[in-house]
Amino acid sequence: MQELPHHYAVKASAVADSNVLLESPGLESLTTAGPAEFGGPGDLWSPETLLVAAVADCFILSFRAIARASKMEWISLSCDAVGDLDKIDKVTQFTGFRLRVRLEVPEGLREGKAERLLEKAEKHCLITNSMKAGSTLDYEVIVRDTAA
């Protein structure tokens, strides 16, 4: 890992009544629009869906790093994330994020270790740690018989 601080640059641009183009050096461009709930087309990524995606993505990448450091083998991990948007004191904001995680581990692995690492990944996700809205984690660990 490189020394901190890190810097991430994104350029957003649009003309009147158009979608937004997001660009970042070395990455493919991404077209976004407002979500259907705010009058957008509902068929493109929006700032809201990108934020929820960042929470889910960060959780998985955090878990991967923690599992690697702990030398814990795992098979697959999925994370369904829901962000709750509401109005608090006349300000529209995300009030929380709910993560539903499914982790598959090989036979012989202690479920307790897997659960501890999942909880640690949630605690150390830099995206949710950077926001005022909290997150909750609900998980399921499935032990897969690798002999089958």
pLDDT at res. 41: 94
Note the pLDDT tens digit of each residue in 91-135.
999 999 999 999 999 999 888 999 999 999 999 999 999 988 778
CB 147 within 8 A of CB 110: no
Q: Which letter, b or e, does each residue of 110-142 get, where b requires 16 or more Cβ atoms within 10 Å of its Cβ?
A: eeeebeebbebbbeebebbeebebebebebebe
- Domain locations in the chain? 47-144
Mean pLDDT of the chain: 93
pLDDT at res. 142: 86
Q: Which CATH number fits domain 47-144: 3.30.300.20, 2.102.10.10, 1.20.1530.20, 3.30.160.270?
A: 3.30.300.20
Q: pTM of the full predicted structure?
A: 0.87
Q: H helices then E strands: how many in the chain?
A: 3, 6
pLDDT at res. 133: 77
Of the pLDDT bands very low, low, confident and very high (cuts 50, 70, 90), residue 62 is: very high
